[in-house]
């Protein structure tokens, strides 16, 4: 609004200026043409006479205007723009006739201004007006010549003054015409200058610097004022600040420029460094301008110092990807890296990766008793130790609570490398942690999942590594690989917990039997009953996938009862068929420690009419050690019934050897993990050897589990192991299959 008022004032000022100039000009013309008062008077005397033929002249004038294409075009254009031709011509005539009145200089000056503007706007060039004056002068001279009343002395003076007036008018109208044009141009130029100044002000006040380059000759077409201020006047196109860009980043900018030359709008962030300053991040944008055929003519370039924003963004990114306590990657970044590593594996078939989840045993207890700051300190210390052993290409993260995740993005060979890393990770716990001036000895457990065999996507791999971790914690193993047949994931857990309750009543459980062979004689000396769940949808489910859950759901005791009865009934049936086959059953911790096991065993034996010596009960070291006093009582009661007791998975738990010596234990079963390593690892072989020696020293029979090949079998024989069980002899079989296997006679009874 204020702009409009200002504009109007400026127009008014300009007009006033022009009028006074016209007045001076009129006087100048009067002086040059020597128009005297006397001549004005003569003109006034004959005015009425000269004005008589105006109507006739109007007709002549009309013809003239319409006969000439240039003037006719002006008239038609006036009409098209909404004007009236008659009015326009009449105003011209009035102007000519007014000449005869010899108006005052002021009135004349005012009208000239208006005519100049008018003619400029309509494109009536002075040459056409000259034609009009010629016709008018002819017309007047004809009147004077024909009028005999005009004395001879006046005729010449009248003619002379008319010529002077026409010349004056033509001269002044022409000047006004050009003057108006020049004023208009000046006005436009002023407007442009003002516009340019404002644009420069604006460009000067923004933090970005701009420049534009003609790509045909790499010429700088424009640059914003700030660019010269920060780079000096010698601005070299196309990228004036190239020498300030760090050498390692220059390629990026040049590539971006090449892309812009191909018609692409490109953005790139690089570092610039001035002498004596730190490098600053700058953003460049190159926007090409192309012709209709797509040929790039110019490139508009923008440069902006984004150092502060870059630092803030990095900080933000760091916060959103870093764990506050340990400074390690957080879960989000870990997942992200896992996604990238998986994508890489998919691109290179045959590549494998490993996902590990580490958990600190009993962390919650330390956290709750010593307080969260101490817990945090512990996490920090562990993070520091772990960081020292992972490679640059591995990703170590704190996933949650006391869970740490490790990605090994490429795994060579059959997994020994992963096992080595797992052992190294757990070796982090070998030295005590110092917390609040006290030393704490901690342990950890690891679950491992491999791509592609244990899962194809990030979620599955993590969830499977976690399942393996849970199993490792339950079994006391330091680390375990995921095993599809035994690990249960959270989804399955939910599904199974609803279904387990009905499994017993629906008769979905069954027992498979795995033979045990006396190594010395090569004879079958018994069978271990192993539980299976015939799941309506999943098919045969192995015990490690549901037993821990069943235990949690309080079903350990009824299941043990079912196993006990079923195994003894089978033993009875075999006995009836003339097959003496002692059976071993596995008893869970709760069922063993709970009341009534001995009574149940007694009544099951009675019901099946089977001798106590036909039954062996397998318990783990943890089961026994959980409550040694009560455990010892149960063992003695079972012993009285003639029932043997075996310590299962021996070597993986922590049994007190001092107590073992005083307890009626008949069998030690060497855990199969030692068996699998025994042939190649001296360490495993040493463990197997010492368990056998220990067992014999305690007066126990030693059974090796998981004998998978003849080499292990032979070695066990050499070591003096009493019995063996494993796939080398037979897999666990349903009772019919077991009976068939017996009748095949590969091993004799
Ligand atoms: P376990 O008592 O140590 O049983 C031996 C496991 O080793 C069995 O797994 C058997 O199939 C497997 N095995 C035998 N020979 C070999 C071999 O040569 N190589 C390999 N790789 N494995 C072999 P299964 O049947 O999956 O049972 C796993 C565990 O589930 C058992 O370990 C036992 O702790 C538990 N379990 C099985 N049945 C019952 C049950 O009725 N009650 C309870 N509470 N636990 C049971
Ligand atoms: Mg067992
Ligand atoms: Mg075992």
pLDDT digits (tens, 9 = 90+) for 210-229: 999 999 999 999 999 888 88
Band of the pLDDT at 553, cuts 50, 70, 90?
confident
Section 390-418 average pLDDT: 89
CB-neighbour burial class of residue 71 (10 A; exposed 0-12, middle 13-18, buried 19+): buried
Could you tell me if 633 and 690 are in contact, meaning their C-beta atoms sit under 8 angstroms apart?
no
pTM: 0.49
Nearest atom (ligand 1) to Cα of 587: 44
Report the C-alpha gap between 694 and 667 in whole angstroms.
11
Round the average pLDDT of the chain to a whole number and report it: 89
Of all protein residues, the one whose alpha carbon is nearest to atom 43 of ligand 1 is 586
Q: What is the CATH number of domain 209-310?
A: 3.30.450.20
Could you state, in order of their start, the residue ranges of all structural domains in the chain?
19-186, 209-310, 322-486, 491-744
Pairing label, strands 583-586, 615-620:
parallel
The tokens for 64 are: 């003239």
Comparing 310 with 262, which gets the higher pLDDT?
262
Comparing 22 with 378, which gets the higher pLDDT?
378
Ligand nearest to the CA of 516: 1
Q: pLDDT tens across 317-354, in order?
A: 777 888 989 999 998 899 999 999 999 999 888 889 99
418-456: b (≥16 Cβ within 10 Å) or e: beebbeebbebbeeebebeeeeeebebbbbbbbbeebbe
Give percent of the chain above pLDDT 90. 49
Q: Output the CA 672–ligand 1 centroid distance in Å.
A: 10
Q: What is the CATH number of domain 19-186?
A: 1.10.490.10
Of all protein residues, the one whose alpha carbon is nearest to atom 35 of ligand 1 is 543
Nearest atom (ligand 1) to Cα of 707: 18
> Ligand 1: which of 530, 570, 727, 733 to mutate, most ligand atoms within 8 Å of CB?
530
Of all protein residues, the one whose alpha carbon is nearest to atom 8 of ligand 1 is 530
Residues in the chain: 749
Q: With 80 as the cut, is the pLDDT of residue 504 above it?
A: yes
Band of the pLDDT at 1, cuts 50, 70, 90?
very low
Q: Output the CA 230–ligand 2 centroid distance in Å.
A: 81
Section 22-26 average pLDDT: 82
Of all protein residues, the one whose alpha carbon is nearest to atom 20 of ligand 1 is 706
Q: pLDDT tens across 603-635, in order?
A: 999 999 999 999 999 998 878 887 888 889 999
Ligand nearest to the CA of 559: 1
Q: Output the CA 499–ligand 3 centroid distance in Å.
A: 26
The DSSP output letter for 245 is: B
pLDDT at residue number 377: 93
Q: Output the CA 192–ligand 2 centroid distance in Å.
A: 96
Q: Output the CA 41–ligand 1 centroid distance in Å.
A: 140
- Sequence-separated (6 or more) residues with CB below 8 Å from residue 264: 288
Q: With 50 as the cut, is the pLDDT of residue 2 above it?
A: no
Report the C-alpha gap between 281 and 245 in whole angstroms.
10
Could you tell me if 540 and 510 are in contact, meaning their C-beta atoms sit under 8 angstroms apart?
no
Residue 440's closest CA among 493, 361, 505? Answer: 361
Nearest atom (ligand 1) to Cα of 542: 26
Q: pLDDT tens across 169-221, in order?
A: 888 888 888 888 888 899 999 999 999 999 888 888 888 999 999 999 999 99
Query: Residue 603, SS3?
Result: helix
Q: Output the CA 466–ligand 2 centroid distance in Å.
A: 24
Q: Output the CA 620–ligand 3 centroid distance in Å.
A: 8
Q: With 70 as the cut, is the pLDDT of residue 658 above it?
A: no
Ligand nearest to the CA of 616: 2
Nearest atom (ligand 1) to Cα of 669: 3
Residue pointed to by tokens 């204020």: 2
In this structure, whether the domain defined by 322-486 belongs to CATH 3.30.70.270 is answered with yes
Q: Which CATH superfamily is domain 491-744 in?
A: EAL domain (3.20.20.450)
Of all protein residues, the one whose alpha carbon is nearest to atom 15 of ligand 1 is 726
Ligand nearest to the CA of 530: 1
pLDDT at residue number 225: 87
pLDDT at residue number 708: 93
Q: Output the CA 322–ligand 3 centroid distance in Å.
A: 42
Q: Output the CA 669–ligand 3 centroid distance in Å.
A: 7
Report the C-alpha gap between 370 and 365 in whole angstroms.
8
Q: Output the CA 747–ligand 1 centroid distance in Å.
A: 21
Report the C-alpha gap between 25 and 2 in whole angstroms.
34
Ligand nearest to the CA of 567: 1
Ligand nearest to the CA of 732: 1
Lining ligand 1 with CB less than 6 A are 514, 530-531, 542-544, 547, 563, 586-588, 618, 648-649, 672, 705-708, 725-727, 732
């Amino acid at each position: 609004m204020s702009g409009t008022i200002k504009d109007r004032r400026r127009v008014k000022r300009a007009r006033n200026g022009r009028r006074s100039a016209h007045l001076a000009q009129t006087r100048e013309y009067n002086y040059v043409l020597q128009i005297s008062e006397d001549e004005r008077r003569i003109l006034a005397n004959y005015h009425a006479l000269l004005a008589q033929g105006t109507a006739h002249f109007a007709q002549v004038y009309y013809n003239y205007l319409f006969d000439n294409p240039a003037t006719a075009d002006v008239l038609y254009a006036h009409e098209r723009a909404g004007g009236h031709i008659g009015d326009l011509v009449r105003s011209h005539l009035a102007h000519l006739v007014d000449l005869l009145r010899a108006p005052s200089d002021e009135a004349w000056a005012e009208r000239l201004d208006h005519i100049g503007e008018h003619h400029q706007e309509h494109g009536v060039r002075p040459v056409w007006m000259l034609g009009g004056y010629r016709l008018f002068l002819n017309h007047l001279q004809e009147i004077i010549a024909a009028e005999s009343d005009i004395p001879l002395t006046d005729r010449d003076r009248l003619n002379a003054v008319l010529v002077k007036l026409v010349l004056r008018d033509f001269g002044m109208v022409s000047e006004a015409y050009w003057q108006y044009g020049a004023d208009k141009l000046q006005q436009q130029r002023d407007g442009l200058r003002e516009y340019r100044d404002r644009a420069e002000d604006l460009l000067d006040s923004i933090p970005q610097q701009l420049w534009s380059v003609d790509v045909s000759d790499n010429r700088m077409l424009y640059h914003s004022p700030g660019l010269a201020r920060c780079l000096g006047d010698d601005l070299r196109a196309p990228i004036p600040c190239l020498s300030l860009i760090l050498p390692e980043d220059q390629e990026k900018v040049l590539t971006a420029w090449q892309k812009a030359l191909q018609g692409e709008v490109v953005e790139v962030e690089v570092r610039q460094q001035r002498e004596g300053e730190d490098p600053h991040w700058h953003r460049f944008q190159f926007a090409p301008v192309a012709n209709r055929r797509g040929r790039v003519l110019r490139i508009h370039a923008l440069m902006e110092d984004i150092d502060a924003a870059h630092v803030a963004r990095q900080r933000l990114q760091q916060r959103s990807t870093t764990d506050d306590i340990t400074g390690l990657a957080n879960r989000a970044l870990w997942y992200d890296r896992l996604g990238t590593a998986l994508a890489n594996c998919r691109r290179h078939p045959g590549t494998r990766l490993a996902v590990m989840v580490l958990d600190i045993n009993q962390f919650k207890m330390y956290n709750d008793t010593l307080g969260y700051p101490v817990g945090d300190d512990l996490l920090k210390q562990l993070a520091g130790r772990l960081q020292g052993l992972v490679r640059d290409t591995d990703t170590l993260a704190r996933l949650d609570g006391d869970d740490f995740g490790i990605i090994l993005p490429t795994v060579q060979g059959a997994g020994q490398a992963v096992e080595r890393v797992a052992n190294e990770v757990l070796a982090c716990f070998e030295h005590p942690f110092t917390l609040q001036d006290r030393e704490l000895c901690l342990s950890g457990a690891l679950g491992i999942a491999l791509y592609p065999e244990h899962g194809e996507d990030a979620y599955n791999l993590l969830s499977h590594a976690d399942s393996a971790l849970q199993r490792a914690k339950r079994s006391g193993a330091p680390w375990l690989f995921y095993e599809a047949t035994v690990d249960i994931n959270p989804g399955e857990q939910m599904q199974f917990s609803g279904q387990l309750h009905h499994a017993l009543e629906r008769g979905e459980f069954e027992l498979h039997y795995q033979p045990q062979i006396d190594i010395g004689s090569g004879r079958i000396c018994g069978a271990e009953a192993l539980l299976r769940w015939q799941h309506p949808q999943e098919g045969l489910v192995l015990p490690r996938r549901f037993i821990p859950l069943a235990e949690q759901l309080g079903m350990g005791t009824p299941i043990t009862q079912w196993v006990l009865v079923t195994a003894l009934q089978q033993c009875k049936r075999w006995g009836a068929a003339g097959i003496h086959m002692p059976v071993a059953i596995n008893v869970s911790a709760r069922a063993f420690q709970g009341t009534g096991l001995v009574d149940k065993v007694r009544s099951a034996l009675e019901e099946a009419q089977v001798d106590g010596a036909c039954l062996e009960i397998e318990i783990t070291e943890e089961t026994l050690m959980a409550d040694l006093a009560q455990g010892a009582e149960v063992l003695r009661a079972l012993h009285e019934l003639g029932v043997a007791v075996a310590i299962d998975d021996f070597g993986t738990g922590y049994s007190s050897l001092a107590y073992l010596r005083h307890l009626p234990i008949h069998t030690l079963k060497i855990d199969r993990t030692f068996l699998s390593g025994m042939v190649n690892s001296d360490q495993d072989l040493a463990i197997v050897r010492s368990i056998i020696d220990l067992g014999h020293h305690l007066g126990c029979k030693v059974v090796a589990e998981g004998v998978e090949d003849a080499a292990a079998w032979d070695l066990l024989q050499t070591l003096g192991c009493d019995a063996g069980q494993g796939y080398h002899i037979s897999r666990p079989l349903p009772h019919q299959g077991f009976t068939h296997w017996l009748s095949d006679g590969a091993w004799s009874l």
